[in-house]
Structure 1
């Protein structure tokens, strides 16, 4: 029997959500494990990292230990997979890049920052995995869909190429778009509101036309519109299309075209809304270490 591809999984600064999605492969997991030799996961807590065919990392690079593991996995793996939005784009944790590390620590620990030498050191900036080492395959999503993880691993095993999406989420969102397609001077509705401020939400009409900010217009398709079809606006976790940077900037530009003049000033956290998941992968922070 020929040797099976060896696989190692590692955790950077993440929440285990992507690894939970891996377990959610459920009925297909036994078949997958027949095809691969899963050597290392965060669950068996093996300290040594041996050479493998495929290395999978979840989470952003936020500490010195994360950075060390990222370089080690890149060195030991023939193919490196960035699993989930934090690994691909830095994730929500990347929003700490808006403030200096010292300020973040003081805010969290109320001026009593622990100095134990066993604690990992925060890097000056949270970084996406690809801004630290070369990544071969990305699996987007917060968390990624179990079927996407399975599809990706099967494609790697069989040597097949993966489909690259280039259109935005609005193209696969089933909600009707009427007034948003018509050029007009005022905003599409009376004002901008949060989901929790509305008593009812039309489940078939575009969120923007109802005055609800939705990041679908600057987020790549591929998730199956799983949020918008469940009556929640897109928050942008799939990031922009490959090769496109500045998701937050594009969000501001797009929303500015919909709001009346000066209307964007009334948004309390426009940066956090546009860059909720991808601030660390913005071109300003995306200088790879060779």
Structure 2
């Protein structure tokens, strides 16, 4: 990369909340632009350039046009970063993946459903192109974004935490959501968020995706202790894992 790498942001199917988190860095953005040159960022500037080295991509892939556009971005970029849950593993968009597509489109668009040209499934960008780094979350954590950018500039490959949110709950001395009679996905969700949701009095919704090796037996034990069924509860709260869980099941069957 150049000494001051050129950076571009792209949005696919998503709410653009992750890019908004970058804008919300506010005065720290001035520090950021001293080390990178932002050449395309629709949320923050009108200029656009196809000459970039690092591409941050938000949103999931839902159309054939998305696939073509994504391939073009990958061809231009030296580094592609999946920004947020939708880009990383399908996110909320993938909640429709296990539903009948025709029924879903009619429910949302009514008489205009026939005009919708979309794939039956919402997919992460890595299902189409190679991804070099991932920043999960809904929305992303601003500090984690800064850490990833800093690492990329220094030539250090960013790594994600691979411990469950429960670890961070203990470090923060949070009251366990299960003890508040809440249903929580913290035991199998990737940490790195500081367990903010549980700390604020709610529970973990799984927005950072599943840890690579979730302790599913331990999760089952916790649920059974509170009179709950693991599969039933995970299905009930499959807000983010519509792509990730079936993919993991397929991989496990192949092994």
Q: Calculate the TM-score normalised by the size of structure 1.
A: 0.75
Offset of 1:258 from its aligned partner?
A: 3.5
Give structure 1 stretches of 5+ with no counterpart. Answer: 178-203
- Whether the aligned pair in 2 keeps the contact of 1:7 and 1:38 (CA below 8 Å) is yes
Counterpart-to-counterpart distance in 2, 1:207 and 1:46? 46
1:186: which partner in 2?
Answer: none
| Contiguous gaps of at least 5 residues in structure 2 | 251-255
Q: 1:176, CA displacement in angstroms?
A: 9.3
Counterpart for residue 134 of structure 1: 130
Are 2:227 and 1:231 aligned? no
Cα shift at 1:272: 4.1
Structure with greater helix share of residues: 2
Distance 2:120 2:130 in 1: 20
Is 1:221–2:191 an aligned residue pair?
A: yes
Residues 1-290 of structure 1: pairs in structure 2 closer than 5 A: 4-43=4-43, 44=45, 50-115=50-115, 121-174=117-170, 204-241=174-211, 243-244=212-213, 253=220, 257-260=224-227, 263-264=228-229, 270-273=234-237, 275-284=238-247
**1:189 aligned partner:** none
Q: How many residues align?
A: 248
Q: Is the 8 A contact 1:106 1:113 kept in 2?
A: yes
Q: 1 CA distance for matches of 2:154 and 2:231?
A: 51
d(CA) in 1 for partners of 2:97, 2:148: 30
Give the deviation of 1:34 after TM superposition.
1.6
Aligned-residue Cα RMSD (Å) equals 3.0
Distance 1:176 1:13 in 2: 34
